[in-house]
Amino acid sequence: MAPFQFIDRPSPFRAASEAFRTVYAVTPTDLEEGRPSADAVAWAKSAGFKADAGSLLLLPGADGQVAGALFGLGSDPTDQPFITGKLPRALPAGVWRIEATALSDRQMALGFAFGTYSFDSYKTAKAPDIFLALPDGIDAAALERTWAAVFLARDLVNTPTNDMGPERLEQVFHALAAHYGATSSSIVGEDLLAQNFPLIHTVGRASAEAPRLLDMRFGRKGARKVTLVGKGVCFDTGGLDIKPAASMLLMKKDMGGAANVLALALMIMDAGLDIDLRVLVPAVENSISANAFRPGDIYRSRKGISVQIDNTDAEGRLILADALAYAGEEEPDLMIDMATLTGAARVALGPDLPPFFTDDEALASALMAASVAEDDALWRMPLFKGYEKDIRARAADITNAPSGGMAGSITAALFLKRFAGGAKSWAHFDIFAWSPNEKPQTPIGGEAQAIRALFSVIATGG
């Protein structure tokens, strides 16, 4: 069975038996030592090709057609492990195979596959078809699911809110579950209040599309319980504490936590990992209307903790609070939440290095090791107890928006920790889910973050 896709695309991979042209990925040292061949090196010298990182030189055939290509890796290919992502945008259409000594077949294949991405659903012109012939012995199924997961996260984030509100996100959620034979359900609108999810209802009640909690289950009962929780704010106006126009431009991506959780769930289900998987996504739109929640309001959460609203633009932690409390009632062995939660995380680490928070030292070590092994950037941040005083409120147990503006990512994590206590191990990921600059493997737009490292840890029992 092929992996789930939200937007159907042909796989970028082809079997080694298919006819292909070769692109030789080379370093300056390769050229100096005569690789890949004397004729190719002579052509490179005559064309001034020096194997600089990302450079490309087409090789002519005897019939006047393009016979192959040279692709520069630079002097240190480890600087850009997915640099082959440039190739789909540079090579002529068709089937290609990469040969190199400086990068692994898996790195080159993933970089190439990620680089084929184009969000052109709303365009009349489409990207040309380009494919990669895989060498024998490589795990094609693993590559396929990783490609599909990354593209799912990107597609969900890139789709504008007029086509990706809470109702559409719910449809994709159920379609993903059905594709892998998982069960799924939804709690919608006033039923959230009847079933004790007051914070999810509060944040989403002003939208034309009712708030909802999405619930998916997959795997073997009795196996290790792994629960994923993703922030699904399909658009964030900021509520009555309205964002300025410039800050609202990218708020279609405020469901990036949900997008990445669904992408990770795809990898887990497609691989058939022997776990008891649960996925929870509170899906809302933080809108403005006469019934919008207000600064100064106080609400009691599912867990019984009262929350004072000091800023309606700190809504993500509210919906996650109810979802985490609900998830914790089953005492999962591992609970992961992912959210585009704070600007403070971007100030601290920028858009490409997501912080994570956990008190589990073994989990933290496993995540950092997987981050390196998978070239999937992560950095651990502290759950510093000294800042717990900052989330206390005057008239309620805690505030959703501490004053002062310092350590915002940490105080947000400490807020969530209050609701995640039912899990035996918990980690919070404050992701950006967006690439503001083009990279070899990533165009500007929605991005998958941390899911490859997380999948590695979950697959190995971490």
Query: Where in the sequence numbering do the catalytic residues fall?
Result: 243, 317
Residue 310 and residue 74: Cα distance in Å, rounded? 51
Residue 299 and residue 202: Cα distance in Å, rounded? 8
Looking at residue 307, the DSSP 8-state letter turns out to be E
Residue 364 and residue 347: Cα distance in Å, rounded? 22
Residue 351 and residue 325: Cα distance in Å, rounded? 29
Residue 319's contacts (CB-CB under 8 Å, 6 or more residues apart) are 199, 200, 203, 204, 211, 231, 232, 233, 282, 284
Residue 255 and residue 75: Cα distance in Å, rounded? 39
Beta-carbon-side half-sphere exposure of residue 282 (alpha carbons within 13 Å): 30
Residue type, 231: K
**460 in Cβ contact with 362 (< 8 Å):** no
Task: Give the Cβ contact number of residue 136 at 10 Å.
Answer: 8
- Report CA 18 to chain centroid distance, whole Å: 32
**142 in Cβ contact with 267 (< 8 Å):** no
Residue 250 and residue 332: Cα distance in Å, rounded? 33
**237 in Cβ contact with 248 (< 8 Å):** yes
Residue 434 and residue 352: Cα distance in Å, rounded? 8
What is the separation, in whole angstroms, between the first and last Cα of the chain? 27
